[in-house]
Amino acid sequence: MSLDSPLNSLGFAKSPAQTRVVVAMSGGVDSSVVAAKLAEEGYDVVGVTLQLYDHGAALAKKGACCAGRDIHDARRVAEDMGFPHYVLDYENTFREAVMDEFADSYLGGATPVPCIRCNERVKFKDLLETAKDLDADCMATGHYIQRMMGAEGAELHSAADPSKDQSYFLFSTTQEQLDYLRFPLGHHASKEETRALAAKYGLSVADKPDSQDICFVPNGDYAAVIEKLRPGAAEPGDIVDTDGNVLGTHKGVIHYTIGQRRGLGIGGLADPLYVVRLDVDAKQVIVGPKDLLATRRVPIREINWIGGGNLMDMGERQIAVRVRSTRPPTDAVLRPISETEAEVELLVAEQGVSPGQACVFYDPDSTRVLGGGWIWRGA
């Protein structure tokens, strides 16, 4: 096919039949629709599902993206739509690259986001390389985020539906990965459009509920998982105020997060208290009034910059940032320290900014994702 041929829907100057695309299939409705849609359009689709933790233990767990039932659902979609499907055992890789850091971060008093590390270290690294080994032209996922072509190449943009936007979890996508990835659902105005397509294709997962939990914490009990990964981690200690006065006891700092108010077991006080700091070494949960949670200066490291140019060359600049996945972007100033470290100054103080969370950078004048980094305590 000549170079003058029009681009297909995935951006290649050849027919869909000549374009191989690996679809990362979690077994949920989103990735299933991506695979079915591309198959219907005539692409050479190959479905791949990752087994990320013990398959036998996973079978009885609901609401998690990588459970055994989900592997079965992905395989069934592939059979119904007539394309090959493979299951890859990434259990050891996932344990080392994601679960171990999750446990160690919590033990260090941080609040980790393992879904970001999974995208960064497993799906967009090892799985992407597998896609290339299969001679795929690109890899597609069911993430709600948009890939747009700009003056300097592929750009990452927030999803058209703000309520489904997953840009916070994909900030660490590199430019090289972005050039290879495709996100066919990012332009959808709502999840209802995706479910309508699932019904149109007759997919068995059309009415499957969205997963709500971290895949290896299907019941939301982080502490139980950490105790299993790190036996003896839940050591008791004191709950103290900012002056060091003992107000109560706890069963382990892993049961608490910055900003937590409920479940402290120290009622009867005139004003509500919140967890403002975790001191792992001293086994202390430090509590204080809500105003102590307010933060304007946020130290960032492990920065991934995909905003064009060189981070250090542009110096201080106005951006928008999200310091938690559940919060909208807020105005800030980015002050680079090195290619991988910076300070972010929030124009309006945010409460509950926690080490271990991501700080994601956005263009304040568009939907473009500029990258981001990890919040830490600073030097």
Do 287 and 241 contact (CB within 8 A), yes or no? yes
Q: Environment class of residue 31 by beta-carbon count within 10 Å: exposed (0-12), middle (13-18) or buried (19+)? A: buried
Which residues are documented as binding site for ATP? 24-31, 50, 142
The answer to whether residue 215 is catalytic is yes
What is d(CA 49, CA 199) in angstroms, rounded to the nearest whole number? 22
The answer to whether residue 118 is catalytic is yes
Those residues whose C-beta lies under 8 Å from the C-beta of residue 86, and which sit 6 or more positions away, are 46, 47, 48, 49
Those residues whose C-beta lies under 8 Å from the C-beta of residue 6, and which sit 6 or more positions away, are 13
Please name the amino acid found at residue 138: C
Which residues are documented as binding site? 24-31, 50, 142
Q: Considering 115, 118, 138, 359, which one is annotated as catalytic? A: 118
Residue with tokens 């149109």: 200
What is d(CA 258, CA 168) in angstroms, rounded to the nearest whole number? 19
Q: Is 262 helix (H, G, I), strand (E, B) or coil?
A: coil
Q: Are strands 153-158 and 246-250 parallel, antiparallel or unpaired?
A: unpaired
- In this structure, the chain runs to a length of 379
Q: Considering 65, 138, 215, 359, which one is annotated as catalytic? A: 215
Residue with tokens 């980015």: 334
46: tokens are 């190959």
- Return the active site residues: 118, 215
